[in-house]
Amino acid sequence: MCAVGGRGRFIVGDLLATSAACALIAAIAGLVVPAGWAAWAAMAAGMLAGMVLAVPCWLVAGLWLGMIEPMLQIMLGGMLAGMAGGMAAVNEVRSDIFGLMLLGLACGAATSLATACADWALRRWGSECP
């Protein structure tokens, strides 16, 4: 049975940390992926950049949120934000740094909220009582 209660501040903390990390990741991915690349290559490069950039973001977030939960959210969100940033780069919107950050912010927030919902569902229905 789920009781959000005390989890609330951690859900908000995860959301803020993941969104901020993903905004940064999307902006960097958007700047480093070359504009002339094919869409699939830009997405793959962005995802890879997202994975790498997620590690320092996770280590910082982990200091005040715990290690495991931010790791999963920032890694997942970072890959998504990196892909989105890479795609934005090939579509020539790299100069719009605020647009890239907003895109990353949306990816991070969506990942964090989806993760919180999945967590709630698993706690509600996912217990094993053999």
Partner 1 sequence: MSLTDRAKWNGAAGSYDGFIARAAERRWARFKTELFGGMNGRVLFVAAGTGIDFQFFPPGRSIEAVDVSERMLERAAMRSREYDGQIRLHQMDVRQLAFQDESFDQAYTSCTFCSVSEPVEGLSQLRRVLRPGGTLRMFEHTGSRWFPFNAMLHMCTPFTRRYGPAMNRPTVANVRKAGFEVESVTPHYLDVVKSIKARKPAC
**Residues within the interface to partner 1 (CB under 8 A):** 6, 10, 51, 55, 62-69, 71-72, 75-76, 115, 118-119, 122-123, 126-130
- Give residues with Cβ within 8 angstroms of 72, minimum separation 6: 115
What minimum distance in Å lies between the beta carbon of 15 and partner 1?
15
The amino acid sitting at 121 is: A
Nearer to partner 1, 76 or 107 (CB): 76
Q: Name which of 90 and 112 has its Cβ closer to partner 1.
A: 112
SS3 per-residue string spanning 75-113: HHHHHHHHHHHHHHHHCCCCCCHHHHHHHHHHHHHHHHH
Shortest Å distance, C-beta 119 to partner 1: 5
Comparing CB distances to partner 1, the nearer of 34 and 66 is 66
**In this structure, what are the phi and psi dihedrals at residue 86, rounded to the nearest 5 degrees?**
-60, -45
